[in-house]
Amino acid sequence: MLRLFVLQFRSTRLKPTECTLNWSQLSRSQSGSSSSVFGRNRVPFGGSLPRHKALNNSIPNQLTGLAFGARPVDPARARTLFTLNRLPKNVDMAGAIKGTQTPPIRTQSPAPLAQDFVRQQVAKQQRTNFHSTSLKTVVPSIMVANSVNKTALHPGGVQPQREHTEIEEELHDKAHIDYDRVAIVANPSVAALYEDALVYETGSAITSSGALSAYSGAKTGRSPSDKRIVKEEGSANEVWWGPVNKPMTPDVWRINRERAIDYLNTRNRIYVVDGFAGWDERYRIRVRVVCARAYHALFMRNMLIRPSREELEGFHPDYTIYNAGAFPANRYTSGMTSATSVAINFAEQEMVILGTEYAGEMKKGIFTVLFYEMPVKHNVLTLHSSANEGRNGDVTVFFGLSGTGKTTLSADPKRALIGDDEHCWSDRGIFNIEGGCYAKCIGLSAEKEPDIFGAIRFGAILENVVFDQQTRVVDYDDDTLTENTRCAYPIEYIENTKIPCVSTNHPSNIILLTCDARGVLPPISKLNGEQTMYHFISGYTSKMAGTEQGVTEPQATFSSCFAQPFLALHPMRYASMLKKKIEEHNANAWLLNTGWVGAGASTGGKRCPLKYTRAILDAIHSGELAKQEFEIYETFNLSVPKTCPNVPDELLNPAKSWNGTADFKSEVRKLGQLFMENFKKYEDQATAEVIKAGPHVCCCQKD
């Protein structure tokens, strides 16, 4: 039951200037301030006036019924903007219809509402949209009620709007979005998305840092087995078909697309977010996201590059994402293996999501699009990497899978961050694809990752985190919902960021990161062109023992190009492009192991200290490491420096630093065999030189 704020009228007809509402005073009164806040002859919420000061009810019965049913309420006593906006515009703040006499005090229940009057008021509400930032039609910033537009299926609604924005017309023509039934919220502000998430989405809350917390539902990570690429003439000969890119027929695509749009048409409101992928204006693509959750809209608003107001004028997307993740795919449709479907159509330039509300699917879907569009159409290399730039303009690119230190090492106080995850390398230099960062939060602390910790504030969105119900302080160590807790925030929230995220300088150093838990790979190795291709295609790191049932020793993990789930073309095409660019720009390539030294993780080794890893990076950036004398590390045929500034010499060669309980040569051979076995599936596309660049283990060798 709403508590009403009551103002005493000095007469039955007040001047408008005598009935001004101070909303800051109202909010203070709700938190327990005294009635003196309201001034003379005023009362706080929940209070009452003496009988001799009872107000003269001057409200027509239609207005009282519209606002609160059968309870007579003066417009000046409305508690919220929502209540005020429900009242007709021809009523002044004194509560009387302009041009009419003030009615007497009512002593009986109000008469039933006139149906014509109700329809008029709801129609006025429906013609406004307080979220919209559309540039073609300017509408008042008035809160919209939860009314439903009139359609054949909803004859009790209000009449459709006579005019529509350009975005609404485009969605109606292209996707048959029912703009007469669905409120299309175009490019909403952060504050508006916060409001909608809190009101309409279960599990949303504002945390103590100001970030919005959202819940992605049953799916708290990507579903790579449910990814599909539409097999059509234009791209069929380009795509790397197989376990990563499973084909979908155009007919099944149409079924899923219509299913997603039908779901969106059942919503009271949907969101449209427009943005760019790629900071270089020559190569960026225009992306439009159509979704049903404020959480998804805010996520993509952060992850895409946000257009200026001028750039939004006449914005027409190259690619459109229809996210109906709350609605399942039909598992009985041909080719569907579950109720989840993430499908991309390169010909139609669209993406459809069903059966998963995990926001990362949109981010990585656009990444897959860039892995196709950039090499095929522009001869630009797409990279799953972080990148930074030194004070002298030298650029370093870091490749690496999860847990290898890609984000940590690229965040260097002496260097400007270009991006932390997705980049493209063109003839003009390197540029970031995204306008935001998507950082892991598990175990996060201000001491370990001050930049990321400080970026979690208003405008950022936290996924699937656990927080204190009273203080709203997030517990970043709590993995109750998932270990894959995340935060998405605009990249400018990181202080040491290069904006725009573009460098016209070509990379000087290419660093392939690995986390070898066996302890047999050197902390740093210099690679030639063929070795770079081999290890880039292999994409090796380790899965730790104990992370899964029955895993008793470190497990080797290989992900081609350090990006296998997102690749659109064969890995050899990306590797060949990388080698060519390294040779053209005389860049150095390195294999940097941030894993264990002295022994394996389960046989007495220890993680390579971060201070030594950073010392190695400093030597790379200064050029000192390239000047050192190198020796060959057997089996893997890697060039290992004999010395490095500020790093113990014995640490640089695993054969010299080994003190584990397991036999060193045996561990080296085991890992070498795993590399060779993994690379067999790429040998049909690889040259003999690239195959020879990998480790060699004779089958007759015994442990």
Contacts made by residues 142-150, CB under 8 angstroms, sequence distance 24+: 142/85, 143/81, 143/82, 143/85, 144/183, 145/82, 145/85, 145/86, 146/268, 147/122, 148/181, 148/268, 149/180, 149/181, 149/182, 150/180
What is the 8-class DSSP label of residue 551? -
**DSSP structural state of residue 7:** B
- Token pair listed for 559: 């992900």
The answer to whether the CB of 281 falls within 8 A of the CB of 411 is no
Question: What's the rounded Cα separation, in Å, for the pair 505 and 427?
Answer: 10
Ordered alpha helix ranges (H), 31-98: 61-68, 81-85
Burial class (CB in 10 A: 0-12, 13-18, 19+), 568: buried
Tokens of 537: 């295609």
Enclosing H/E stretch for 321: strand 319-324
Least Cα distance to 279 among 149, 426, 162 occurs for 426
Q: Which residues are known to be catalytic? A: 222, 364, 384, 402, 406-407, 421, 486
Per the structure block, which two tokens stand in for 440?
Answer: 């892991």
CB 164 within 8 A of CB 139: no
In terms of Cβ atoms closer than 10 Å to its own Cβ (0-12, 13-18, 19+), residue 688 is exposed
Contact status, residue 480 vs residue 466, Cβ threshold 8 Å = yes
